[in-house]
Copies of this chain bind each other. A is one copy, B any other.
């Protein structure tokens, strides 16, 4: 059916896609999906400099062993994310990085695949540090009763998991992390912003992939800080939230994120250096 180049392309690039792709990434299947991933990863990985022309459609057809329409449709997808732009007779050129839609899950995925992990991790953590205290501040003020109930429930779940011993250590830790995530999500939901929710989802997914997957093999997890310390810091956030002290709740969340960031950095540096 398809040429050998294509089969290889599918198996190497696409076959493993579902396994380690960023959550939230639109699943693009088949030959087109393979071409998109291949080109996206290469471009994000600086195979060509911004301003430089990538190979012509015809050349890429030959190289990848696919029809021209596949290349063209791949160009459209990648172009929709701000990576490239085609102009008649001038070819298809890589756009300056400022045009790249860095907040797009696919672009994040390609950055991770391309190995741009350290810079991305630092930036992601910075976003959390800037964002989450503000989320808690606003949530403390504007949360509806339903939203407050969800936060309360999330906290109770954290407490329950924390206090319930489990012979299966890994399982308990998994539950702990899950409860932790819901705690943060509950505050975010209280703010009731579609834009912030999406931003948070992308950030979380990318962080999860960067930290969980890559560091799990070395005994690290997203939430490295000890459960005791983590629980104390979370308790402070919740307590101030219940007291409706937005400033104090915000500060508590900043201490929590700051603590988590230091550990993430330590663990990651240890791994990558």
Q: A82-B26, A199-B103 given as contacts; is B193 within 8 A of A130 (CB)? A: yes
- Mostly, the A contact residues are helix
A133 B137 Cβ-Cβ under 8 A: yes
A26 B138 Cβ-Cβ under 8 A: no
B191 A126 Cβ-Cβ under 8 A: yes
Give A62 to B188 CA distance when docked, in angstroms.
Answer: 45
Interface: A145 (CB within 8 A): no
A198 B137 Cβ-Cβ under 8 A: no
Cβ 8 A contact of A106, one of B72, B80, B103, B126: B80
Q: A131-B131, A247-B251 given as contacts; is B80 within 8 A of A196 (CB)? A: no
Q: How far, in Å, is A12 (CB) from chain B's closest CB?
A: 22
Cβ 8 A contact of A194, one of B102, B138, B192, B251: B102
Interface size on A, residues (CB 8 A): 45
- Chain B residues whose CB sits within 8 angstroms of the CB of A202 once the complex forms: 103
Copies in the complex: 2
A130 B123 Cβ-Cβ under 8 A: no
A78 nearest CB neighbor, chain B only: B80
Quick one: CB contact mask for A78-113 with B, threshold 8 Å, 1 for yes?
Answer: 111110010000000000010101111110000000
Interface: A69 (CB within 8 A): yes
Give A127 to B131 CA distance when docked, in angstroms.
Answer: 9
Give A69 to B135 CA distance when docked, in angstroms.
Answer: 44
Chain A interface residues toward B at CB < 8 A:
26, 69, 72-73, 76-82, 85, 97, 99, 101-106, 123-124, 126-127, 129-131, 133-135, 137-138, 191-196, 198-199, 202-203, 247, 251, 254
A-B residue pairs, 7 tightest by C-beta: A80-B80, A130-B134, A76-B76, A77-B80, A134-B134, A73-B76, A126-B193
